[in-house]
């Protein structure tokens, strides 16, 4: 606020007096320009938080025009591709769906890496596999590009109020350099080397999804034996059966619909990432494996994405691939 109300107007006057009107743009650029790719349900409010804190922003075409238009009204500039975003940004944030979409945006044709120059920073805020994050880091290092993984925990409501939990992995100095940007969106916790943010995120999601299944099973058992649902849930909140799932039971229960919500895909995807790592390190995860099968069964009921040119990359197509790997 001090910059905008005191320092910047004074600098503008001084520059104008010296005939240096063109230099105002240089002063304005002392804060990094942020590229943001992935204006989805959580990504859009995250981007709004960043731009509301005075950062200039660049966005690119999206599957839906509405979020792009919203960001343009807030002052964001639209360009045609991720590579164009990278060319004119200092830091690019990605908040897309999974490894596949991230690979397309970061490494594919007209991607961030195509437009990247030395000194660019990439912050991957999706829930991704740690292996993918490390591979991006390896490829980026060769171009002098810094990379952090920074998946988030919290709902779209938390994103809108800047109260997400942000789990950061990567070079500590880079994490500290970009901390002010990340703190516009939530509480930042440094977790360790590149990919460690994803490990912490996946562990948290494993616990959540196992707890969802456990709570549904226990509450359904109580109801079938004559217990009043509202009374049962209230008493569970007071006892050792309490959890975030129980505390937010009405919201969690609203997700139990047919066909299931698209978030079932994200649950299945995250459990698949976690189980692949469990297999690599030789750790049995029977509860996570059981949950994965339940979520995959739900995802198989999802309709194909309208207009998808590659059905095998749709939610249900990926679920079939996961099921085949089992």
By annotation, the residues acting in catalysis are 201
Alpha helix ranges (H) inside 226-301:
229-238, 244-247, 249-254, 263-281, 286-299
157-163: long-range contacts (C-beta < 8 A, 24 or more apart)?
Answer: 158/186, 159/42, 159/45, 159/46, 159/49, 159/185, 159/186, 160/45, 160/48, 160/49, 162/49, 162/186, 163/187
Q: Which of 149, 233, 133, 132 is nearest to 190 (CA)?
A: 149
Q: Could you report how far apart the first and last alpha carbons of the chain are, in Å? A: 54
Q: Which of 73, 77, 143, 68 is nearest to 106 (CA)?
A: 143
- Spacing of C-alpha 313 from chain mean position: 19
């Amino acid at each position: 606020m001090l910059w905008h109300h005191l320092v910047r107007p004074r600098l503008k006057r001084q520059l104008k007096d010296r005939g240096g009107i063109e230099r105002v743009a240089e002063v304005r650029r002392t804060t990094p320009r942020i590229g943001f790719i992935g204006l989805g349900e959580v990504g859009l409010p995250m981007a709004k938080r960043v731009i509301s804190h005075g950062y200039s922003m660049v966005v690119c075409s999206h599957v839906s025009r509405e979020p792009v238009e919203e960001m343009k009204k807030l002052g964001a500039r639209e360009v045609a591709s991720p590579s164009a975003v990278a060319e004119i940004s200092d830091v690019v944030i990605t908040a897309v769906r999974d490894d596949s979409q991230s690979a397309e945006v970061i490494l594919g044709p007209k991607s961030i890496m195509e437009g990247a120059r030395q000194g660019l920073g990439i912050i991957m805020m999706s829930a991704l596999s740690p292996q993918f994050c490390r591979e991006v880091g390896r490829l980026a290092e060769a171009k002098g590009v810094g990379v952090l993984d920074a998946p988030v925990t919290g709902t779209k409501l938390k994103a809108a109020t800047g109260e997400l939990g942000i789990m950061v992995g990567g070079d500590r100095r880079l994490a500290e350099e970009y901390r002010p940007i990340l703190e516009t969106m939530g509480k930042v916790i440094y977790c360790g080397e590149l990919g460690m943010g994803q490990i912490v995120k996946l562990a948290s999601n494993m616990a959540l999804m196992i707890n969802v299944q456990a709570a549904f099973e226990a509450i359904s058992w109580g109801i079938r034996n004559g217990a009043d649902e509202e009374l049962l849930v209230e008493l569970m909140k007071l006892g050792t059966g309490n959890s975030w799932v129980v505390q937010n039971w009405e919201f969690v229960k609203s997700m139990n619909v047919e066909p299931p919500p698209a978030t079932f895909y994200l649950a299945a995807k995250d459990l698949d990432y976690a189980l692949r790592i469990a297999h690599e390190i030789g750790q049995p995860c029977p509860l996570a494996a059981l949950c994965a099968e339940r979520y995959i069964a739900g995802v198989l009921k999802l309709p194909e994405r309208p207009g998808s040119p590659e059905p095998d990359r749709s939610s249900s197509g990926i679920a079939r691939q996961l099921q085949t790997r089992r």
